[in-house]
Structure formats: C-alpha cells, structure tokens
Amino acid sequence: MIENARVGDSTIDDDAVCTDQTAFKLTALESFANYWARSSTELSPAPTLVELREALDDCGGVVPEALLHVAAIQARRDEVALVRKQLASRDPYRTAKFRQVEKALEECDGNIQLAVEKLMADKCVRLQAEKLRVREALYKEMPMAHPTSRESSAPSMPRRSFERNNRSCCTASGASRKGKQGSS
C-alpha cells in the first residue's frame, strides 16, 4: 500500500515529482507507535522521531518490523522507569543509571522486584546515595555549597569585598614571588 502511494495536486491530474516513500513509512510508523507503543507510565518518555527513523532504517523500511522494534524499546524504558520509581520509594537518595537498571533487569530475567533488590544491594548505587546524603547535609550547613537553580540566581557576595579579599591574597603571593625572582 505504501509503495504505491503518491502525492499529487487534486486540481490537476499530475503526480508530484520526487516523492520519498520513507516519509510515508515514517508517518505510518509514527501513527502506529502513538497507539501501540505508548508509554505506560508518566515517568517514561514516548519514542522520539529520531528513534522512529532509526528503527525504520534498522529494519530496512519494513513498518511492522520497525513497530515491533520501537515497542520493545518502549517496554524496556517503561520497566526501567518502574524500577527507578520503586528504588526512590524505598530510599529517596537511591538512583541508578539506565544501563545499570537494564543490566539488573537482564540478570533477573525481567523481574522488577528482583532487579530492585539487586540494585538496593549494589555497591555503586549505595555509594551514590551516600554521596547525595553528604551533599544534602553539607547544603544544610553551608547553603552555597550546593545551590539549587533558584538560589544560584540570588545576589552573590558584593564585588568589592571579593576583589579586596582576592587582592590581599594575590599581593602576598606576588610579593613573595618577586622576592624570589629578584634574589636569583
């Protein structure tokens, strides 16, 4: 059906020249993916146009095969989002990279609960959570140690006092350097 599709002007009986069949295939794939490969969770993004085009290229332009490919990618993305959500519900500081979660899911044969347990016990995930806890504790003691985007736009230290403090440090070190250079 797509191979015989043509774009033309309805006022005249002439087909447009140089119609790319890939555009029709991509549009069809996008329509099918919007219905069949939708995200099942709000934490997981939908397939992008770039991903759809790559899937179509990888599958040699065969739309049904590309749709299965996109659906499999979206299913994996949804599983990763569920694992991350369960990690965060157990410990708000625990997070894992996509590839870490994907590896855990593969090792646990797609079992989300086992993957969560595996990641909770993972040394790297625990270390990252501990780093975040330390950062938050430091932030409570020293707010500018880890400013949020709202606070980074707040007025900073006045320029004059910074220059004065910086100049005194530079002058002392500059004087010692000059003394060393003059003696040689």
Residue 132 CA to its chain's centroid (Å): 19
> Quick one: average pLDDT of 9-37?
75
Give the pLDDT of residue 46: 86
Under 8 Å between Cβ of 119 and 91: no
pLDDT band at 55 (very low <50, low <70, confident <90, very high): very high
How distant, in Å, are the alpha carbons of 19, 47, 58, 64 from that of 26? Answer: 13, 13, 13, 11
Sign of the alpha-carbon dihedral angle for 80, 81, 84, 86: negative
Give the pLDDT of residue 95: 86
* DSSP, residue by residue, 26-89: HHHHHHHHHHHS--SSTTSPPPPHHHHHHHHHHTTT-HHHHHHHHHHHHHHHHHHHHHHHHHHH
pLDDT in tens, 138-152: 888 887 765 554 444
Report d(CA 67, CA 18) in Å as an integer. 26
* 143 secondary structure, DSSP code: G
Give the pLDDT of residue 104: 94
> Quick one: average pLDDT of 158-171?
42
pLDDT in tens, 81-101: 999 999 999 988 888 999 999
Give the pLDDT of residue 142: 81
Sign of the alpha-carbon dihedral angle for 41, 47, 48, 49: negative
Please give the single-letter amino acid code of residue 156.
S
Measured in Å, how far apart are the chain's first and last C-alpha atoms? 87
> Quick one: average pLDDT of 47-69?
93
* DSSP, residue by residue, 144-156: GGS--HHHHTS--
Give the pLDDT of residue 99: 93
